[in-house]
């Protein structure tokens, strides 16, 4: 019997399981972590996700007994068995596709490192993920969100000033929330109205922003930031309530709260603002290559997803307004 669509894979203490791995297997996981973080320059979040999948795979192959785990036991049958167990536990198509990709990345590395005689990864089939985009705000809704943030900041509260600058800069630039939280004061060029962003794979890019975002960021830096500064702040642009660099989880909560204050707006977070920015750029006449560069996409295929949103919206407008639709 198939699991209900809302079922989730049980939460596993992967950190604890990693500690219990045999010393030689734990050493392999450590080497793989170094490869992901230093050689591939992946973000800490991505590294954690890859490692979680690898540890879960090794534990599964050992039938739940970490002491019996072994890297050489990773073969095609084992990979298929692991994905089947994930499916039985209720993992979605998207999750299965991601875990299959994670397993293939590990087996490819392990083969190059001489830990596997051949690579079973390319023969591992997985369901294609449903590529969906988060809800996109309409331009008037985005404007209302920015107005709501501005109204909240009118009293000069440092946190409200920060929150306004966060939502303005996210929407103005379309940067990822981790990229926003990683910004330093020196990464802003007010004269050119651009920010220097360190994106995925440590690829650096320059992204412009408009006058409203400049105004909000200046107010935060000049009037709000000093109230939160501590010895943990260093050169971070955005700070948390205790003075450390703003955490992405806090930034997500900020966006959800501000967007939620606007009636009839979609429930969305920083990723939704990123998608809204891309969609509005395309609807305003920007070409795909330009949007690709602004968003920091490695391939144009990722940026092309936004054209579907734009076309769907154009069709809806056509159906509502054209006399012969």
Active site members: 176, 200, 271, 274, 297, 306
Burial 153-171 (b: 16+ CB within 10 A, else e): beeeebbbbbbbbbbbbbb
**Helix, strand or coil for residue 208?**
strand
Contact residues for 262 (Cβ-Cβ < 8 A; gap 6+): 141, 144, 145, 148
Positive or negative, the CA dihedral 70, 73, 74, 77 is: negative
Q: For Cα atoms 31, 32, 33, give the angle at the middle one, nearest 5 degrees.
A: 90
Nearest to 74 by CA among 92, 62, 64, 85: 62
- Which two three-digit tokens encode residue 190? 């007010």
Q: How far apart are CA 17 and CA 48, in angstroms?
A: 14
Residue 132: Cβ-neighbour burial (10 angstroms; 0-12, 13-18, 19+) = exposed
Do 137 and 148 touch, CB atoms closer than 8 A? no
Q: How far apart are CA 278 and CA 276, in angstroms?
A: 5
Listed in order, strand segments (DSSP E) in 169-288 are 188-189, 194-198, 204-208
Looking at residue 243, the DSSP 8-state letter turns out to be S
Nearest to 149 by CA among 251, 222, 242: 251
Nearest to 108 by CA among 70, 68, 59, 54: 54
Q: How far apart are CA 182 and CA 109, in angstroms?
A: 29
Rounded to the nearest angstrom, the gap between the alpha carbon of residue 220 and the centroid of all alpha carbons in its chain is 25
């Amino acid at each position: 019997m198939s699991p209900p669509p809302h079922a989730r894979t049980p939460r596993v203490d992967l950190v604890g399981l990693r500690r219990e791995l045999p010393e030689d297997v734990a050493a392999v996981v450590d080497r793989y972590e170094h490869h992901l973080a230093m050689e591939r320059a992946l973000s800490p979040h991505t590294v954690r996700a890859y490692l979680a999948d690898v540890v879960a795979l090794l534990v599964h192959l050992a039938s739940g007994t970490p002491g019996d785990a072994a890297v050489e036991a990773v073969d095609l049958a084992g990979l298929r068995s692991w994905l089947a167990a994930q499916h039985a536990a209720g993992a979605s198509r998207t999750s299965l596709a991601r875990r299959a990709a994670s397993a293939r990345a590990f087996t490819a590395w392990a083969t190059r490192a001489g830990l596997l005689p051949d690579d079973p990864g390319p023969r591992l089939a997985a369901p294609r993920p449903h590529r969906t985009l988060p809800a996109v705000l309409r331009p008037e809704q985005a404007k209302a969100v920015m107005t709501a943030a501005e109204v909240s900041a009118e009293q000069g509260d440092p946190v409200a000033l920060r929150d306004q600058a966060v939502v303005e800069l996210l929407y103005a630039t379309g940067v990822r929330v981790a990229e926003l939280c990683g910004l330093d004061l020196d990464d802003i060029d007010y004269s050119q109205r651009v920010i220097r962003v360190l994106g995925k794979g440590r690829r650096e890019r320059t992204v412009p922003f408009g006058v409203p975002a400049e105004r909000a960021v200046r107010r935060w830096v000049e009037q709000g930031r000093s109230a939160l500064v501590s010895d943990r702040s260093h050169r971070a642009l955005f700070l948390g309530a205790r003075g450390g660099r703003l955490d992405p989880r806090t930034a997500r909560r900020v966006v959800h709260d501000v967007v939620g204050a606007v009636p009839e707006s979609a429930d969305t977070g920083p990723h939704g603002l990123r998608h809204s920015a891309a969609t509005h750029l395309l609807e305003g006449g920007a070409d795909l290559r330009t949007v690709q560069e602004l968003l920091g996409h490695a391939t144009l295929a990722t940026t092309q997803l936004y054209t579907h949103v734009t076309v769907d919206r154009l069709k809806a407008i056509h159906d509502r307004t054209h006399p012969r639709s």
